[in-house]
């Protein structure tokens, strides 16, 4: 069974459990006389209004479960985490249902309201958590028996790669890990048997596809971060977990999420510290907010487009390739603030009093109005409202020479605004980019919805006061 198949089992089980829980609660609700306008239990259940309410409630509960992050990781669930995740998502949902549904009932006494709310939560929790626990136990048993495995490949063929594989394999099938082989790198001495080498690094596409690899572990002998970065950037495109053996000299060890897998310290290179629920809620807010912004700000867009046209000859928008989420290039959109001849083949950063900037372009930059078209990038899922600002590959190549851990910022979507932009502002040189990087790394290590809100408030203040330059 794969992640997708197990996720479907959880979803189906939740739908069945929710329906059973609601039927059980509805029987109690009827017997308590809260829906006295129905003559019988059959009349209560088999009518159009009840059917519509059930459909709406199922959709509502499923939205709560998705936003809670329960379906994000379906293999290797912690039973304790599962308990609290289920408890709090059902508690939140119960309170909403109380105000939207139960409050409309006409009980004999107000005490019945409280009793009904308790009955609703208890009914839902017994069925939902019970079904989930059964599936989790089945999945866990399948992992222990080797029926469900996480197929891994190790990048590296040296002593560190061998030691990593041996330590992981030493704990039998408790974690469901199945190391399928090693991938060789140029100029690294091999300490493994030739038959154990699945192929070279330039054959990784075929290796991952043919072996069905679920996770990549980087365990090369060199402690040179530049070599690790070169390997890492070639792995992002596969969109599967990437782990790095945490050597003592690695600058990235203190920046990523460290997991002890079979006693082997591994850094999750494409996992942020953001919770699953926070990540899902942030994604939803970004999409809805971007759509609302594009609709509500349409008059302002038309005005700015007219002013750009009158200000100087050229296109209305400026586009440029940037490196985004998981190292994927994307085209960023801005209102044009420079004369059409202001950009050449060599990337140049804009500075204060830059002669390439048009008169109205200077006004837009001051109030950050030129960034508004990036709402389209947010709507497409390429960016977020808050996140590290995306840079050009030309400058990234220079930054990682001094700060290799910069690559960790690609674990989150780049933002329309960032902690670095709020506290530091625009960077005119690669050196200033590295200085600003410290603020972005601070954000990365402490990501939360509350911090996002704080950054947005500071950004609004910057826009209103015109301190964008």
Looking at the fold, whether 356 and 449 belong to one and the same domain comes out as yes
HSE, CB side, 13 Å, CA atoms: give it for residue 28. 19
| Averaged pLDDT for residues 76-97 | 91
Domains contained in the chain, number: 3
Q: Is residue 200's pLDDT more than 50?
A: yes
Residue 89 to residues 239, 277, 300, 367, 395, Cα–Cα distance (Å): 28, 10, 40, 40, 43
Spatial neighbors of 236 by CB under 8 A, at least 6 apart, are 242, 270, 326, 327, 328, 410
Asked whether the beta carbons of 184 and 199 are under 8 A apart, the reply is: yes
Q: What is the pLDDT of residue 90?
A: 96
Looking at the fold, whether 244 and 289 belong to one and the same domain comes out as no
Q: Of 144, 162, 189, which residue constitutes the final position of a domain?
A: 144
Map 249-299 to HEC letters.
CCCCCCCCEEEEECCEEEEECCCCCCCHHHHHHHHHHHHHHHHHHHHHCHH
- Would you call 127 helix, strand, or coil by DSSP? helix
Residue 53 to residues 63, 93, 100, 116, 220, Cα–Cα distance (Å): 15, 15, 11, 17, 57
Spatial neighbors of 346 by CB under 8 A, at least 6 apart, are none
Looking at the fold, whether 260 and 352 belong to one and the same domain comes out as no
Looking at the fold, whether 213 and 354 belong to one and the same domain comes out as no
Q: Is residue 344's pLDDT more than 60?
A: no
Q: Is the dihedral of CA 124, 125, 129, 131 positive or negative?
A: negative
Q: Is residue 80's pLDDT more than 80?
A: yes
Provide the residue range defining the domain that includes 78: 3-144
Looking at the fold, whether 192 and 89 belong to one and the same domain comes out as no
Q: Which pLDDT band, with edges at 50, 70 and 90, does 248 fall under?
A: very low
Asked whether the beta carbons of 422 and 391 are under 8 A apart, the reply is: no
Q: Is residue 106's pLDDT more than 70?
A: no
Spatial neighbors of 136 by CB under 8 A, at least 6 apart, are 77, 79, 82
Q: How far apart are the C-alpha atoms of 178 and 153, rounded to whole Å?
A: 9
Looking at the fold, whether 199 and 304 belong to one and the same domain comes out as no
Looking at the fold, whether 323 and 255 belong to one and the same domain comes out as no
Q: Is residue 93's pLDDT more than 50?
A: yes
Asked whether the beta carbons of 266 and 259 are under 8 A apart, the reply is: yes
pTM for the model: 0.84
Q: What is the pLDDT of residue 77?
A: 79
Looking at the fold, whether 241 and 177 belong to one and the same domain comes out as yes
Query: What proportions of the chain, in percent to the nearest 5, are helix, strand and coil?
Result: 55, 10, 30
Q: What is the pLDDT of residue 264?
A: 61
Asked whether the beta carbons of 211 and 151 are under 8 A apart, the reply is: yes
Q: Of 118, 144, 170, which residue constitutes the final position of a domain?
A: 144
Q: Of 250, 268, 286, which residue constitutes the final position of a domain?
A: 268
Asked whether the beta carbons of 102 and 120 are under 8 A apart, the reply is: yes
| Averaged pLDDT for residues 32-56 | 70
Question: What is the overall mean pLDDT for the chain?
Answer: 85
Q: Among 61-70, 113-122, 374-383, 420-429, whose mean pLDDT is lowest? A: 420-429
Q: How far apart are the C-alpha atoms of 415 and 375, rounded to whole Å?
A: 10
Q: How far apart are the C-alpha atoms of 266 and 243, rounded to whole Å?
A: 6
Looking at the fold, whether 138 and 178 belong to one and the same domain comes out as no
- E strands in 345-451: 384-386, 415-417
Asked whether the beta carbons of 417 and 440 are under 8 A apart, the reply is: no
| Averaged pLDDT for residues 81-107 | 85
Q: Which residue has the tokens 């394999």?
A: 169
Q: What is the DSSP letter of 247?
A: -
Asked whether the beta carbons of 260 and 352 are under 8 A apart, the reply is: no
Q: Is residue 173's pLDDT more than 60?
A: no
Q: What is the pLDDT of residue 117?
A: 87
Asked whether the beta carbons of 162 and 192 are under 8 A apart, the reply is: yes
Q: How far apart are the C-alpha atoms of 72 and 3, rounded to whole Å?
A: 9
Which of 224 and 148 is assigned the larger pLDDT? 148
| Averaged pLDDT for residues 280-303 | 96
Strands 215-218 and 242-245: parallel
Looking at the fold, whether 130 and 182 belong to one and the same domain comes out as no
Nearest to 242 by CA among 121, 392, 407, 109: 407
Query: Integer distance in angstroms from the first to the last C-alpha of the chain?
Result: 54
Looking at the fold, whether 186 and 238 belong to one and the same domain comes out as yes
Q: Is residue 84's pLDDT more than 90?
A: yes
Summarize pLDDT for 418-458 with one digit per residue, the tens.
998 888 877 878 888 899 999 999 999 889 999 999 999 99
Q: Is residue 249's pLDDT more than 50?
A: no
Q: How far apart are the C-alpha atoms of 216 and 211, rounded to whole Å?
A: 12
Looking at the fold, whether 90 and 154 belong to one and the same domain comes out as no
Q: Is residue 103's pLDDT more than 80?
A: no
| Averaged pLDDT for residues 336-360 | 74
């Amino acid at each position: 069974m794969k992640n997708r198949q197990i996720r479907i089992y959880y979803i189906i089980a939740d739908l069945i459990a929710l329906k059973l829980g609601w039927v059980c609660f509805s029987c109690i609700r009827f017997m308590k006389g809260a829906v006295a306008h129905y003559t019988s239990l059959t009349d209560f259940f088999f009518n159009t209004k009840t059917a519509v309410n059930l459909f709406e409630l199922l959709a509502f509960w499923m939205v709560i479960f998705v936003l809670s992050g329960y379906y994000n990781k379906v293999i290797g669930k912690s039973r304790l985490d599962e308990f609290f995740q289920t408890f709090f998502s059902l508690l939140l949902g119960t309170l909403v249902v109380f105000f939207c549904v139960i409050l409309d009932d006409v009980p004999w006494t107000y005490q019945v309201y409280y009793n009904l709310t308790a009955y609703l939560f208890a009914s839902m929790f017994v069925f939902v958590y019970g079904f989930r626990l059964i599936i989790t136990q089945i999945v866990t048993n399948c992992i222990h028996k080797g029926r469900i495995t996480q197929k891994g490949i190790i990048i590296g063929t040296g002593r560190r790669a061998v030691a990593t594989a041996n330590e992981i394999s030493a704990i039998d099938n408790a974690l469901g890990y199945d190391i399928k082989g090693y991938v060789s790198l140029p100029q690294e001495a091999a300490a493994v048997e030739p038959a154990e080498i699945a192929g070279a690094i330039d054959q990784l596409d075929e290796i991952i596809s043919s072996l069905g690899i679920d996770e990549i572990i980087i365990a090369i002998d060199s402690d040179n971060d530049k070599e690790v970065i070169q390997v890492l950037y070639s792995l992002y495109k596969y969109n599967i977990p990437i782990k790095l053996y945490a050597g003592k000299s690695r600058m990235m060890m203190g920046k990523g999420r460290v997991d002890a897998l079979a006693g082997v310290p591994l850094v999750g290179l494409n996992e942020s510290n953001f919770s699953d629920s926070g990540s899902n809620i942030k994604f939803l807010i970004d999409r809805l907010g971007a759509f609302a912004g594009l609709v509500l700000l349409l008059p302002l867009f038309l005005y700015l487009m007219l002013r750009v046209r009158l200000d100087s000859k050229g296109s209305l928008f400026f586009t440029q390739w940037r490196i985004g989420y998981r190292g994927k290039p994307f085209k960023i959109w801005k209102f044009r603030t420079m004369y059409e001849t202001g950009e050449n083949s060599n990337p140049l950063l804009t500075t204060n009093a830059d002669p390439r900037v048009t008169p109205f372009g200077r006004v837009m930059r001051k109030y950050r109005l030129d960034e508004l078209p990036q709402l389209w990038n947010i709507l497409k899922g390429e960016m977020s409202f808050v996140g590290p600002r995306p840079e050009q590959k030309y400058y990234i190549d220079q930054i990682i020479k001094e700060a290799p851990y910069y690559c960790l910022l690609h674990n989150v979507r780049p933002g329309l605004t960032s902690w670095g932009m709020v506290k530091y502002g625009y960077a005119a040189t690669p050196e200033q980019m590295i200085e600003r990087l410290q603020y972005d790394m601070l954000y990365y290590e402490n990501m939360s919805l509350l911090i996002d809100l704080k950054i947005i408030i500071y950004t609004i203040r910057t826009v209103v006061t015109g301190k964008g330059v």
